[in-house]
Structure 1
Amino acid sequence: MARRPVLLSGDPHAPFPDVSLALRQPDGLLAVGGDLSVPRLLAAYRSGIFPWYSEGQPILWWSPDPRTVFRTGAVHLSSRFRRELRRLRWQVRADTAFDAVVAACAAMPRPGQDGTWIVPGMRRAYAHLHRLGHAHSIEVFDEEGRLAGGIYGVAIGRMFFGESMFSARSGGSKVALAALARWLDERGWPLIDAQVGNPHLESLGAEAWPRARFMDALAALTAAPGLGGSWTGEFGTIPASGLAGPTAD
């Protein structure tokens, strides 16, 4: 008999099933149901699990194998893009436009997807996490002060779980990712969870880790002291041109 995803109880404090029970097809589907309350979401991320579903579906919870991650010191920007960066007068900030970043991510058309998984319930849930200091956005502003790109996700301990990113101008999401990775790397946060890989993420340096390796790293990082509350002051303003690095590749 084919294995089915676990049905979650109505108790948001109930533990998630072990990720070893996740299905192989579709890869990583572990559980169904429950809610998007703060206790449930934080417990999910600590357990290597995230929600991902479409409008009209129940809440679906996933833990794929392999897991896609960025090492914060190894995000790759091509030499051509870094040459372009040196000419840009863009600036990067944190937690100054969270709702706008999430809305832009939801509105971005994505190959192979009909509609968005960032449904209204998800947007409300992550806005609540943001107000409590658990979810953060990195925003890239162009020379006219308009959003050129961004990324948002959840931070627990010294682990950042990337949820989605967007570009309103070419390269906007790359700048957001590179700025976030550098900032985290400087503070001893070694990983960004990218969940599921694709060629674009791989071109930026994403790696596919066996789920067991990811879970081992996750346990230590989520238990480490983190940085709660707003990141705006600590992050400051980073010139995008400063992410270009030395002239030679």
Structure 2
Amino acid sequence: MPIIEFPPVEIADEQGLLAIGGDLHHDSLLLAYQSGIFPWPISQEYPLAWFSPPQRGVIRFDDIQVSRSLAKFVKKSGWTISFNQGFLEVIRQCQEVHSGSSEGTWITDEIIEGYFNLFHQDLAYSVEVRDEKDQLIGGLYGVSMGHFLSGESMFYKESNASKVALLAILSVVKRNQIPFLDTQMVTPITKSFGAIELDRSVFISEIGQLFTQTPIEFPNTKIPVKDLLKSF
């Protein structure tokens, strides 16, 4: 049964933990994101937890940065990118790659099922990065609800592949004049693209109108990576 109400975000603890339990029905996830909340399993004991951190990472439309080194790499690259052509493969690769990290992965089988169902509701997306042999070497997935876009997780098998995936979704931000990409947290990679932190109250006040906008139409053909720079 979908979640019909979350606790007020103001009662979240200092790490942002707000609630435990519930399900990942697409209506539950839609309500969560509309409320400034996202799921993040934290342990086997607490397989489904909901967070609304006091500071939210975003990359604003006007603040997007592309480093000289990445731009130089992209100009010479023979890779291609696509959207929504391999969602399940991308999220499973994210799970596998992060499972081998010291922190482990928050992408449980339940998360995969929940976001794959969300994808079938046209409320989630994926970016695929492929090399010259058409092998998947990187990717990113997130939610796409109206003009609200998030980046949930990404992976790479070749250097710069996850950066290229992030550059690809930021090209969608630019092309559609979306105010910002929700990155949830600021990491070294997102910071290199211009990510900043917003106070939770500011973030929530700014997302309301985004969910009522016309859903984004993603490109439906493969795009040479070097063409991404045309958006910036």
TM-score norm. by structure 1 comes to 0.86
Q: Structure 1 149/180 Cα, relative in aligned 2: closer, same or farther at 3 Å? A: same
Write the distance in 2 (CA, Å) between the matches of 1:244 and 1:137: 19
Q: Deviations over 1:195-232 (max 9, x none)?
A: 1222232122111111111111111111222237xx4x
Map 1:27-106 → 2, pairs under 5 A: 27-54=15-42, 56=44, 57-106=46-95
Whichever residue aligns with residue 39 of structure 2, its letter is: P
Any idea what SS the aligned residue of 1:108 has?
helix
Q: Deviations over 1:26-63 (max 9, x none)?
A: x1101111111111111001111000014522310001
Deviation at 1:16, TM superposition (A): 1.2
Structure 1 residues 67, 110: CA separation in 2 closer, same or farther (over 3 Å shift)? Answer: farther
- Cα deviation digits, residues 56-89 of structure 1 (max 9, x gap): 2231000111100012453322212211211111
TM alignment of 1:1-249, pairs within 5 A:
12-24=2-14, 27-54=15-42, 56=44, 57-109=46-98, 113-227=102-216, 231=218, 234-244=219-229
Contact conserved, 1:73 with 1:182, CA < 8 A, in 2?
no
What is the CA–CA distance in structure 1 between the aligned matches of 2:101 and 2:92, rounded to whole Å? 20
Aligned residue number for residue 6 of structure 1: none
- Supply the distance in 2 between the matched residues of 1:235 and 1:192 (Cα, whole angstroms): 21
- CA separation in 2, counterparts of 1:112 and 1:54? 15
Which amino acid is 1:115 matched to? G
Larger radius of gyration: 1
Q: Distance in 2 between matches of 1:220 and 1:20?
A: 21
Listed as ranges, the gaps of 5+ residues in structure 1 are 1-10
Amino acid at match of 1:200: I
Q: CA RMSD in A?
A: 2.2
Say which SS state the counterpart of residue 68 (structure 1) adopts.
Answer: strand
**Aligned-partner Cα distance in 1 for 2:129–2:118:** 21
* Whole-angstrom distance in 1 between the partners of 2:158 and 2:204: 35
Q: What letter is aligned with 2:27? A: P
Q: Is the 8 Å Cα contact of residues 156 and 226 (structure 1) preserved in structure 2?
A: yes
**Distance across 1 between alignment mates of 2:103 and 2:24:** 23
Q: 1:3-40 CA deviation, whole Å, 9 max, x = no partner?
A: xxxxxxxx52421122111111xx11011111111111
Structure 2, gaps ≥5 residues long = none
Contact 2:64–2:193 under 8 Å retained in 1: yes
The DSSP-based 3-state class of the residue aligned with 1:86 is helix
- 1:235–1:65 Cα change, 3 Å: farther
Q: Determine the C-alpha separation between the residues in 2 that align with 1:100 and 1:176.
A: 14
- Between the aligned residues of both structures, percent identity stands at 34
What SS does the corresponding residue of 1:61 show, helix, strand or coil?
strand
Is this contact kept in 2: 1:55–1:119, CA < 8 A?
no
Evaluate the alpha carbon distance shift between residue 179 and residue 74 of structure 1 in structure 2; reply closer, same or farther with a 3 A threshold: farther
Aligned AA for 2:35?
S
Q: Which amino acid aligns with 1:19?
A: V
Which ranges of 4 or more aligned residues in structure 1 deviate by more than 6 Å?
A: none
Query: Could you tell me the TM-score, scaled by structure 2's length?
Result: 0.92
Equivalences, count: 231
